[in-house]
């Protein structure tokens, strides 16, 4: 089968032929129908040797939807032939975090995380999944629209929940209207009444933001600060969802925060935050840096998609065209999510 494998840190992955895996025990084999391309893949490719706790080579692709085509003897339920979304945090299912439903913070996941993040992922013709508990059934869903929900949608959902604040009447600033941000806007549009300001330097991303229910869109965090100061809904943002995570955006998030406000930093662009009680931040500040999301949140997002409550905007590519799509993602040309579809 074909697979986009990362062989060298700091270099592009290569499309190579590898054997189709054979499932045993609790494992299942999926024929991949769709795989979303995430900005995190670019961070992984760009990583310096030793920066990430994963061994090379491995196959990229952590937003995967496929059909179960084979399973090991220990797989009990009739999964064969079913379309499934893969929950990519391959947690242990036994530790305290897993038992609390916080499986995205599984204490056993100290190295590789899951498909395409240290283990072989779904940017390939087939994907081996360790156990059925990492699957969410999605029989009648469109695989292309579904794939981005497994990370972009799930992470946006968890980031919003992790902010842990009452959203009624809140002003929310969403920084970055890309793969994750455009789904966050849709989740927020369901949380009436909330005032949402989207920030993105790209005009097409701002236009998408308006179509997805943002009350206002601006080109920079400085413009967002001005918009908030301009008497719109009082001072500051009650929630900032930062899907960029650069120094500039984290600094801006701290500056525009309202008293009691919460910042969810999701983007991995390397920004750092210095905090102190009684420092420059407003009273009652809270920052979280959520990671991906728990299995249950993926099930919730998939259920929401089934009723039309959230719908990923996608550009589709063949598996052979994945690098073209990654190049477009790097250049900031992708609208919504780029998805490889078989
Ligand atoms: P993306 O490239 O699809 O979207 C990023 C968007 O941010 C683009 O629209 C871009 O124009 C915009 N942008 C860039 N600089 C900006 C700035 N200074 N101000 C406002 N907008 C700006 O990326 P994505 O796939 O949505 O991922 C976003 C980030 O989230 C990445 O860093 C990714 O690695 C990270 N991520 C984190 C998790 C997690 O679990 N924490 C999960 C998935 C992705
Ligand atoms: Zn665990």
End-to-end CA distance of the chain: 13
Q: Is 338 in the pocket of ligand 1 (CB under 6 A)?
A: no
Q: List the one residue out of 9, 1, 73 whose CA is nearest residue 32.
A: 1
CA dist 123 and 144 (Å) reads 13
Closest ligand 1 atom to residue 337 Cα is 3
What is the arithmetic mean of pLDDT over 139-163? 97
> Residue 241: its pLDDT value, please?
98
pLDDT higher than threshold 70 for residue 221: yes
Q: Whose alpha carbon is nearest atom 1 of ligand 1?
A: 178
SS3 104: helix
Best CA proximity match to 173, nearest among 86, 69, 103, 249: 249
pLDDT tier at 231, thresholds 50, 70, 90: low
Ligand showing the shortest atom-to-Cα distance for residue 242: 1
Task: Establish whether residue 284 lines the binding site of ligand 1, counting it when its CB lies within 6 angstroms of any ligand atom.
Answer: no
Please say if the pLDDT value at position 232 is more than 80.
no
Distances (CA, A) of 44 to 41, 50, 53, 62, 127: 5, 11, 11, 12, 19
Query: What pairs with residue 114 in β-bridges?
Result: 117, 118
So what's the pLDDT on residue 182?
98
55-69, 86-100, 273-287: segment of lowest average pLDDT: 273-287
* 184 three-class SS: helix
Q: Please report which ligand is nearest the Cα atom of 104.
A: 2
Tokens of 281: 């931040």
* pLDDT for position 233: 62
pLDDT confidence of residue 279: 83
Q: What is the pLDDT of residues 121-139, one digit of tens each?
A: 999 999 999 999 999 999 9
CA-based nearest residue to 253, from 243, 152, 217: 243
Shortest-distance ligand to the CA of residue 62: 1
Pocket test for ligand 1, best of 43, 106, 154, 178 (most atoms within 8 A of CB): 178
Whether omega for the bond prior to residue 193 falls within 30 degrees of 0, making it cis, is: yes
What's the confidence (pLDDT) of residue 277?
A: 84
Residue 267 Cβ contacting ligand 1 at under 6 Å: yes
Mean pLDDT of the chain: 96
pLDDT of residue 189: 94
Q: Which of 161, 179, 289, 335 to mutate for ligand 1's pocket (most ligand atoms within 8 Å of CB)?
A: 179
Question: Is 269's C-beta closer than 6 angstroms to any atom of ligand 1?
Answer: yes
Give kind and range of the element (H or E) at residue 295. Answer: helix 295-306
* Best of 46, 159, 268, 338 for a ligand 1 pocket test (most atoms within 8 Å of beta carbon): 268
With a 6 Å cutoff on the Cβ, whether 145 touches ligand 1 is no
- For the cut 70, the answer to whether the pLDDT of residue 316 exceeds it is yes
> Taking a C-beta distance cutoff of 8 angstroms, is the pair 257, 285 a contact?
yes
Specify the pLDDT at position 191: 86
> What does the alpha-carbon distance between residue 85 and residue 13 come to, in Å, rounded to a whole number?
24
Q: 242 CB under 6 A from ligand 1?
A: no
Distance CA 196, CA 242 (A): 13
Check pocket membership of 248 for ligand 1, CB cut-off 6 A.
Answer: yes
Compute the half-sphere exposure of residue 300: CA atoms within 13 Å on the CB side of its CA: 13
Candidate from 61, 176, 207, 338 with most ligand 1 atoms within 8 A of CB, to mutate: 176
Q: For ligand 1, say whether the CB of 209 is within 6 Å of any of its atoms.
A: no
Whole-prediction pTM: 0.98
Neighbours of 11 (CB within 10 A): 10
Tens-digit pLDDT profile for residues 247-256: 999 999 999 9
Please indicate whether residue 202, judged by its CB atom, sits closer than 6 Å to ligand 1: yes
| Residue 278 reports pLDDT greater than 90 | no
Domains in the chain and their CATH numbers? 2-151+293-341 (3.90.180.10), 156-288 (3.40.50.720)
ipTM score here? 0.99
Question: For residues 186 and 287, is the Cβ–Cβ distance under 8 A?
Answer: no
Mean of the pLDDT values across residues 301-309? Answer: 96
331 CA to centre of own chain: 19
62: which 2 tokens?
């952590």
Stretch among 5-9, 66-70, 163-167, 208-212 having the lowest mean pLDDT: 163-167
Using DSSP's 3-state secondary structure scheme, residue 327 falls into: helix
83 DSSP β-pair partners: 67
| Cβ(155) – ligand 1 distance below 6 Å | yes
What is the pLDDT at residue 129?
A: 98
What local confidence, expressed as pLDDT, does residue 234 receive? 64
168-195 residue pLDDT tens: 999 999 999 999 999 999 999 998 799 9
């Amino acid at each position: 089968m074909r697979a986009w494998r990362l062989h060298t840190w700091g270099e592009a992955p290569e499309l190579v032929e590898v054997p189709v895996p054979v499932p045993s025990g609790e494992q299942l084999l999926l024929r991949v129908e769709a795989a979303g391309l995430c900005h995190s893949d670019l961070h992984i490719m760009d990583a310096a040797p030793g920066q990430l706790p994963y061994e090379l080579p491995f196959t990229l692709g952590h937003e995967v939807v496929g059909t179960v085509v084979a399973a090991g003897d220990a797989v009990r339920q009739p999964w064969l032939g079913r379309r499934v979304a893969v929950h990519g945090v391959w947690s242990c299912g036994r530790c305290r975090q897993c038992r609390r439903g916080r499986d995205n913070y599984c204490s056993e996941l100290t190295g590789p995380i899951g498909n395409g993040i240290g283990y072989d992922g779904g940017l390939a013709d087939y994907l081996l999944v360790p156990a059925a508990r990492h699957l969410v059934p999605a029989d009648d869903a469109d695989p292309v629209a579904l794939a981005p929900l497994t990370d972009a949608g799930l992470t946006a959902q968890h980031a919003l929940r992790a902010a842990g604040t009452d959203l009624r009447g809140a002003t929310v600033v969403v920084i970055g209207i890309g793969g994750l941000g455009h789904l966050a806007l849709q989740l927020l549009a369901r949380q009436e009444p909330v005032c949402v300001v989207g920030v993105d330097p790209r005009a097409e991303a701002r236009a998408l933001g308006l179509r997805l229910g943002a009350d206002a869109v601006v080109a920079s965090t400085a413009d967002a600060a001005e918009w908030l100061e301009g008497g719109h809904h009082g001072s500051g943002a009650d929630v900032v969802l930062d899907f960029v995570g650069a120094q500039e955006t984290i600094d801006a998030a701290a500056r525009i925060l309202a008293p009691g406000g919460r910042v969810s930093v999701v983007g991995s662009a390397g920004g750092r935050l210095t905090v102190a009680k009684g420092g420059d931040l407003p009273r009652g500040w809270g920052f979280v840096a959520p990671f991906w999301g728990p299995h249950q949140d993926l099930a919730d997002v998939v259920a929401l998609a089934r009723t039309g409550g959230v719908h990923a905007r996608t550009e589709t590519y063949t598996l052979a065209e994945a690098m073209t799509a990654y190049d477009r993602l790097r250049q900031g040309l992708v609208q919504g999510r780029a998805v490889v579809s078989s």
